[in-house]
Homo-oligomer: A and B are copies of this chain.
């Protein structure tokens, strides 16, 4: 080393060191750029393609999509206030969460090399052989920190969204040799997709049997209990009081941003999804907590037959996202707070704005919720559901058509087993759409809208 110093002058060494600096800086810049090329640029291009009137959730039929396109580019529905922009709140696309995830930066980014997760199998020895162990671990951690579900002595079954798991449950609970299909019921208003999914293949194993409150058939049945309920947001319990029933709890909305967490849910079959908990609908990842081993095995069998497992990439990403959420609850970041802080605050604000707009318009009513104590947020508050279940008062008969004439797309009550005076409205859209919706709702004039409605006919 001493010899080295005798050969090179101080000036030589400085030049060498500066050159090394330049090369290191170039490397840092290059690596940043590679990151952009491999993932971000794709997204930027896609973002540029997106329009504000983009639809959400996925019960839109192709026809709905096409009609939305034509209505958004049509000028026939422009009214005197320039309300020609279609606001689509028909689906529950949770894009309001994008803002939170942007704030988390690199913490929530994942990197997947080309050679990773190529096999069909995640954990060949496990009951759910396509469940990524990291994702399972993060599910347990999240439920433990939030306290919304008992996970002890439960099997996790992962699904391509909770929609697939709903079908897996139907398959698992239906006897293969029954004389007639098993009845599936849920109290109205029920989630509009339940009857469609249940009956779409005319299965001989199960059959939609409508409103649980009027169900009076003898024999075994499945009762779906969605709590908090989609569409109306109320906390629910089973309503059929008969023997031979099996309960399935859809707890997609049992998270502290929507409803007080009163206790850890402790049911035999509980369904959850990232779409409504973290806002990652595009991942198509849900999970079931299942008590009975045989039921869990049959659910696994269904997912195997239906899609040979569940995307590993999305499971790995979901594991990362859940990890960030749980860490954010345990060690809240100073600036943005936990995901639940962010979303609870936003939902509270949105519901205040909506109730004010509804009061101002005088044309609608909304459900009222009693406040409850939340063991996670340590406060008492009234539910602020992911959907608004809006009722149009007389003389408006068709609420969906009335709002559509104001370029607000919602889902009619008829799809939920009740009348057309109700609509379901997503509360989870991006800020600009939500704000525009509330503003428009507060200033809707009955006569003007009716007029537009008539001329459109």
| A interface residue numbers (CB < 8 A to B) | 10-11, 13-14, 17-18, 20-21, 24-25, 27-28, 31, 34-35, 38-40, 42-43, 45-46, 49-51, 54-62, 65, 68-69, 91, 93-95, 97-98, 101-102, 104, 106-125, 127, 129-130, 132-134, 160-161, 163-164, 167, 171, 193, 196-197, 200-205, 275, 279-285, 297, 300-302, 304-314, 316-317, 319-321, 324
Instruction: Say how far A440's CB is from chain B's closest CB, in angstroms.
Output: 21
Instruction: Say how far A96's CB is from chain B's closest CB, in angstroms.
Output: 9
Given contacts A125-B65, A133-B49, A42 and B316 within 8 Å (CB-CB): yes
Q: Which residues of chain B are within 8 angstroms of A281 by Cβ–Cβ distance?
A: 118-120, 308
Count copies of this chain in the complex: 2
Instruction: Say how far A264's CB is from chain B's closest CB, in angstroms.
Output: 27
Complex contact B118–A107 (CB within 8 A): no
User: What are 9 A-to-B residue pairs whose CB atoms are below 8 Å?
Assistant: A28-B31, A45-B134, A46-B133, A58-B304, A118-B281, A171-B201, A201-B204, A202-B203, A312-B314
Q: Which residues of chain B are within 8 angstroms of A49 by Cβ–Cβ distance?
A: 123, 133
Query: In the complex, which of the residues B40, B161, B196, B279 contacts A118, with contact meaning CB atoms closer than 8 Å?
Result: B279
Complex contact A112–B110 (CB within 8 A): yes
Complex contact A307–B304 (CB within 8 A): no
Query: In the complex, which of the residues B51, B55, B113 contacts A40, with contact meaning CB atoms closer than 8 Å?
Result: B113
Instruction: Say how far A31's CB is from chain B's closest CB, in angstroms.
Output: 6
Residue of B nearest to A316 (CB): B42
Residue of B nearest to A202 (CB): B204
Complex contact B114–A320 (CB within 8 A): yes
A56 to B122, CA, bound (A): 10
Q: Which residues of chain B are within 8 angstroms of A312 by Cβ–Cβ distance?
A: 282-284, 314
Instruction: Say how far A199's CB is from chain B's closest CB, in angstroms.
Output: 10
Given contacts A13-B14, A202-B204, A284-B311, A164 and B306 within 8 Å (CB-CB): yes
Instruction: Say how far A441's CB is from chain B's closest CB, in angstroms.
Output: 23
Q: Which residues of chain B are within 8 angstroms of A118 by Cβ–Cβ distance?
A: 94-95, 97-98, 101, 279-282
Q: Which 9 A-B pairs have the closest CB atoms?
A: A108-B114, A202-B204, A39-B111, A101-B115, A24-B24, A58-B308, A282-B312, A311-B311, A17-B17
A290 to B274, CA, bound (A): 32
Q: Which residues of chain B are within 8 angstroms of A54 by Cβ–Cβ distance?
A: 119, 121, 124
Instruction: Say how far A409's CB is from chain B's closest CB, in angstroms.
Output: 12
Given contacts A109-B114, A314-B314, A196 and B25 within 8 Å (CB-CB): no
Instruction: Say how far A98's CB is from chain B's closest CB, in angstroms.
Output: 5
A113 to B109, CA, bound (A): 4
